[in-house]
Chains A and B, each alone.
Chain A
Amino acid sequence: MAVKTFTTGEVLTATDTNTYLNNGGLVYISATTFTTTATANFENAFSSTYRNYRAIIELTASAGAAIYLRLLVGSTVQTANILSIQNGYSYSGGVSNSTRSDSYALFGGGFATYPSVYDVGIYAPQVATYTTLHGQYTGGRSNTDSDYYNLSARNIATTQVDGFQITTASATTLTGTMRLYGVRNA
């Protein structure tokens, strides 16, 4: 709906209030806090209520290993029909790199000794079409060394996915919070 402009002295009706409460662009769905875990699954996260989603994952600590985001159907990890690219830059190392994987959706991190953030869009996971993801990661190895990654992935199958997972693949400590939002269709 178009934005309504209220004027001085106008009565804010229940209808107006409910309309604006329901018409935010991003609608909070859930938050998960995890502490010193090797893997965190966010299952039954996607439904037909929203077509697109946004996940913000804030890591306050990890054991300093690569971190991966993978798609789930139930509790089953999807490792086939995935095409993903990560392109990144390490500040102190002065290194940019690009890596392709066919088995996980998004690479991230490297290290999260310092607070690190993933901001990921998940598009059409509950539609019988390809699921697309893209996002960004920024994290710190120290106060003089940061990592930046652009992340992009496609699930080139019409399988509807309903969740996702982050895993360290080697470390046993991931601590942080994932917050999930649905993007209103209209």
Chain B
Amino acid sequence: MGYAMPKITVHNIATDEIIEREMTRDEIMQIKETFPDAFEETSPE
């Protein structure tokens, strides 16, 4: 079973554009660099 990619909400306040998308691997790895245990609880094998 693959990993369920967590969602990110991005609001560009200057243009008032809001998008929701899956987080990229780079974004997830950046968070994991700061929080090593990040996403372990919600990413099933």
Please provide the chain A residues from 27 to 79 with a CB less than 8 Å away from any CB of chain B in the complex: 29-30, 32, 34-45, 47, 63, 65, 68, 75, 77, 79
Segment with Cβ contacts to B, from A8-16, A92-100, A168-176: A168-176
Indicate which residue in B13, B14, B18, B23 contacts A38 across the interface (CB closer than 8 Å).
B23
A170 contacts B13, CB within 8 Å?
no
Question: Are A39 and B31 within 8 A (Cβ)?
Answer: yes
Shortest Cβ distance from A164 into chain B, in angstroms?
10
When chains A and B are docked, how far (Å) is the Cα of A43 from the Cα of B14?
A: 8
Q: Are B31 and A163 in contact (CB under 8 A)?
A: no
Cβ contact within 8 Å between A79 and B34: yes
Q: How far, in angstroms, from A180 to B13 measured CA to CA in the complex?
A: 10
Within 8 A of A (CB), among B1-45: 4, 6-16, 18, 20, 23, 27, 30-31, 33-35, 37-42
Using A36-B7, A169-B35 as known contacts, say yes or no to A44 and B14 having CB atoms under 8 A apart: yes
User: Is the beta-carbon distance between B31 and A75 smaller than 8 angstroms?
Assistant: no
Question: By the criterion CB–CB under 8 Å, are B11 and A172 in contact?
Answer: no
User: Is A170 a contact partner of B42 (Cβ separation < 8 A)?
Assistant: yes
**Is A104 part of the contact surface with B, judged by Cβ < 8 Å?**
yes
**Using Cβ atoms and an 8 Å threshold, which residues of chain B touch A37?**
6-9, 20
Alpha-carbon separation in the docked complex, A45 to B17 (Å) = 12
Complex CA–CA separation, A42 to B20 (angstroms): 12
Q: Please report the C-alpha to C-alpha distance between residue A61 and residue B41 in the assembled complex, in whole angstroms.
A: 17
- Let me know if A167 is at the binding interface, CB within 8 A: yes
On whether the beta carbons of B34 and A172 are closer than 8 Å, the reply is: no
Specify which chain A residues have a CB less than 8 angstroms from the CB of B31 in the assembled complex. Answer: 39, 167, 169
Hey, which bits of chain A sit against chain B, CB under 8 A? 29-30, 32, 34-45, 47, 63, 65, 68, 75, 77, 79, 103-104, 163, 167, 169-172, 180
What 18 additional pairs, Cβ within 8 angstroms, besides A30-B11, A163-B13? Answer: A30-B16, A37-B8, A39-B6, A41-B9, A42-B11, A43-B11, A44-B12, A47-B14, A63-B42, A65-B41, A68-B35, A75-B10, A169-B34, A170-B35, A170-B37, A170-B41, A171-B42, A172-B39
